[in-house]
């Protein structure tokens, strides 16, 4: 079977999400029925999950096979799927499953959001965004990676426009639209530098050309400038310094459902793109990369946490909090870039993925709780509006309190294990020498991270105090629906469960990153039939 058709077969979950999204958007124009299209969206997510389950879970990525398709053998766990422009290694499969879970939670959360006549556009945009994350997670080519990232960005414009019908919301939409286009242009310009310096758009060939000592292009300034431009473009997705300034205004001007999606989806796509571009390329040839990540991590989490301290608007507070959490994630990536040839580098990469998952669950549940407490006309804006909610709505208030504790890193919740993993990897990087890499700056990063965690606890606990220890001056009339309430409670319970039993998620994130280390024995390709009826290749390790 041709490689292009095989790639389409492997990307069946993404295709199902895209087709379902288009069907919902078009169908809603002729039959604007909220309940029917909501069920259709859930069914689409379920079908995509079923299709993904049929593809297995490979473990170790293979090198470029010249366009051959590689299939996971059921009897051999040490194998990987490569089909055309996409690679379905364990990292890709783990992120795809995570995107399916996020799609389900966001669809449930949005069950009562927006006008009924535009409900299909909202659901369809959510499905397209999650499909974009899945495509970016599997991309091994700059073109496909850019398409995946744009599939995250473009539907976001629609969602922001469909938010609240007021001047502030339109201003937020315009600001995000213009800055997102600028960030995409900078990133695409960086991609052109990578192509010009290495002669390829395939990530494995870019990596090979840069690593080759005899290549005059390897340490060239063009490649360096390209990676810097790419990092600047992706910093907008992460909401990290220096492209963080849009977040507070946009979060404040949109709905809670849209803010939840903005806080989660672009970060997932950005982290995956950074891992694919930086951790699968020449980090040992260019040590300036981990220095740059270290400085960005320190600056991002400090700016986010310090600015959040002064916020009375809860949406702006959570926006600055989101910026700070992007800084925490960059700690693990800095460790991975500096120590990638050792187990410490693997620990840093897996700690970043673990933190990404627990952060996404907590912030999604937080905005779900705020969406539930909102009325049909007004969103929760000020922290003081939450006063007395612990008495009036104890279940949702309890979920919010639990999630605030997790975001601040208080044990035994999931957020504690996330911060502990990141800080532990940085401490180990400061004391272990590998390939000449040992830097006391990692200790500075750990101290800065610990101080930032203490600062963050101050504003998170202020929210908890307002929920349970302040008397309300106004009575809210929650109209967010049971879907948003259920997502908030589910996120709180999941955060508690991961905090008590972090082992399964720790193992999953460690497995998702173990295949990224290219310093392994070579792989052999052999032919073998598979159950789908066509011939693929099985990649195994001798």
Write the pLDDT tens digit of every residue in 387-401: 888 888 899 999 999
**Hunting for tokens 């979920």 — which residue is that?**
399
- With bands split at pLDDT 50, 70 and 90, how would you rate the model's confidence at 284? very low
What is the pLDDT of the chain when averaged over all its residues?
Answer: 81
Would you say 255 and 163 are in contact if contact means Cβ atoms under 8 Å apart?
yes
CA nearest neighbour of 257 among 372, 421, 334, 158 = 372
Residue 156 has pLDDT above 90, yes or no: yes
CA nearest neighbour of 176 among 371, 287, 319 = 319
Contacts of residue 165, defined as CB under 8 A and 6 or more positions apart, other chains included, come to none
pLDDT for res 527: 30
* Tens digits of residue pLDDT in 183-208: 999 999 999 988 887 788 888 777 77
pLDDT for res 493: 96
Residue 154 has pLDDT above 90, yes or no: yes
Q: Where are the domains of the chain?
A: 287-514
Residues 243 and 184: their CA atoms lie apart, in Å, by: 12
pLDDT for res 358: 96
pLDDT for res 451: 95
pLDDT for res 34: 73
How buried is 525 (Cβ within 10 angstroms: 0-12 exposed, 13-18 middle, 19+ buried)? middle
Q: Which residues of 109-146 are buried (b: 16+ CB within 10 A; e: fewer)?
A: bbbbbbeeebbbbbbbbbbbbbbbbbbbbbbbbbebbb
Residues 389 and 394: their CA atoms lie apart, in Å, by: 7
Locate 94 and state its tokens. 């783990």
Instruction: Report in angstroms the alpha-carbon separations of 113 from 78, 187, 532.
Output: 44, 33, 40
Would you say 279 and 340 are in contact if contact means Cβ atoms under 8 Å apart?
yes
- With bands split at pLDDT 50, 70 and 90, how would you rate the model's confidence at 528? very low
Would you say 495 and 361 are in contact if contact means Cβ atoms under 8 Å apart?
yes
pLDDT for res 74: 34
Please compute the mean of the pLDDT values over residues 418-428 and round it to a whole number. Answer: 92
* Tens digits of residue pLDDT in 78-137: 445 555 577 878 888 899 999 999 999 999 998 877 666 678 888 999 999 999 999 999
Please compute the mean of the pLDDT values over residues 402-420 and round it to a whole number. Answer: 93
* Tens digits of residue pLDDT in 43-94: 999 999 998 888 765 544 433 333 333 333 333 334 455 555 778 788 888 9
Alpha-carbon torsion 268, 240, 176, 119, what sign? positive
pLDDT for res 81: 54
Would you say 152 and 133 are in contact if contact means Cβ atoms under 8 Å apart?
yes
CA nearest neighbour of 358 among 508, 459, 480 = 508
Three-state DSSP at 361 gives helix
Is 224 or 184 the better-scoring residue by pLDDT?
184
Residues 518 and 507: their CA atoms lie apart, in Å, by: 20
The shares of helix, strand and coil residues in the chain, as percent rounded to the nearest 5, are 70, 5, 25
- Helix (H) or strand (E) run with residue 439 in it: none
* Tens digits of residue pLDDT in 457-487: 999 999 999 999 888 666 667 777 888 999 9
pLDDT for res 89: 82
Q: How many residues in total does the chain contain?
A: 542
CB atoms within 10 A of CB 421: 24
Would you say 268 and 356 are in contact if contact means Cβ atoms under 8 Å apart?
yes
pLDDT for res 419: 94
pLDDT for res 291: 85
Greatest mean pLDDT range, 328-332, 342-346, 512-516: 328-332
pLDDT for res 520: 37
Is 524 or 261 the better-scoring residue by pLDDT?
261
Strands 70-71 and 535-540: parallel
């Amino acid at each position: 079977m041709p490689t292009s058709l095989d790639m389409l077969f492997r990307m069946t979950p993404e295709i199902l999400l895209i087709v379902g999204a288009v069907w919902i958007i078009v169908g809603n124009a002729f039959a604007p029925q909220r309940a029917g299209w909501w069920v259709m969206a859930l069914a689409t997510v379920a079908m995509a999950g079923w299709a993904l389950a049929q593809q297995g879970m490979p473990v170790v990525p293979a090198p470029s096979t010249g366009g051959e398709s590689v299939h996971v053998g059921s009897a051999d766990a040490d194998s990987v799927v490569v089909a055309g422009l996409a690679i379905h290694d364990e990292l890709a499969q783990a992120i795809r499953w995570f995107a399916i879970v996020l799609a389900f939670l966001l669809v449930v959360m949005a069950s009562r959001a927006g006008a009924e006549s535009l409900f299909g556009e909202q659901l369809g945009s959510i499905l397209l965004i999650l499909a974009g994350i899945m495509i970016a997670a599997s991309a091994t080519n700059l073109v496909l990676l850019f398409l995946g990232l744009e599939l995250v960005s473009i539907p976001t414009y629609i969602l922001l426009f469909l938010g609240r019908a007021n001047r502030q919301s339109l201003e937020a939409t315009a600001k995000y639209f213009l800055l997102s286009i600028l960030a995409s242009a900078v990133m695409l310009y960086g991609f052109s530098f990578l192509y010009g310096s290495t002669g390829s758009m395939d990530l494995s060939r870019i990596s090979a050309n840069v690593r080759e000592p005899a290549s005059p292009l390897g340490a060239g300034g063009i490649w360096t400038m390209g990676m810097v431009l790419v990092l600047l473009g992706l910093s907008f997705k992460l909401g990290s310094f220096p492209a963080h300034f849009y977040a507070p205004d946009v979060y404040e001007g949109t709905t809670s459902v849209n803010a939840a999606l903005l806080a989660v989806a672009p970060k997932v796509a950005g982290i995956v793109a950074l891992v694919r571009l930086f951790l699968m390329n020449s980090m040992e040839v260019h040590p300036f990369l981990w220095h740059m990540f270290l400085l960005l991590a320190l600056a991002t989490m400090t700016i986010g946490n310090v600015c959040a301290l002064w916020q009375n608007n809860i949406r702006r507070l959570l926006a600055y909090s989101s910026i700070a959490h992007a800084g925490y994630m960059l700690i693990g990536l800095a460790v991975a870039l500096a120590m990638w040839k050792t187990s410490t580098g693997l620990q840093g990469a897996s700690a970043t993925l673990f933190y990404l998952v627990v952060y996404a669950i907590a912030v999604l549940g937080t905005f779900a709780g705020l969406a539930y407490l909102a009325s049909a006309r007004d969103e929760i804006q000020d922290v003081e509006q939450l006063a007395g909610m612990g008495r009036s709505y104890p279940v949702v208030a309890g979920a919010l309190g639990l999630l605030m504790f997790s975001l601040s890193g208080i044990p035994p919740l999931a957020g504690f294990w996330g911060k502990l993993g990141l800080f532990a990897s940085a401490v180990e990087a400061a004391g272990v020498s590998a390939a000449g890499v040992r830097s006391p700056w990692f200790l500075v990063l750990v101290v800065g991270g610990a101080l930032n965690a203490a600062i963050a606890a101050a504003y998170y606990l202020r929210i908890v105090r307002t929920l349970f220890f302040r008397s309300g001056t106004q009575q809210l009339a929650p109209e967010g629906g049971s879907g948003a309430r259920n997502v908030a409670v589910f996120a709180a319970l999941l955060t508690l469960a991961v905090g008590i039993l972090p082992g399964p998620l720790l193992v999953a994130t460690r497995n998702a990153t173990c295949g990224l280390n290219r310093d392994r024995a070579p792989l052999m390709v052999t032919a073998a039939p598979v159950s789908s009826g066509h011939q693929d290749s099985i990649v195994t390790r001798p």
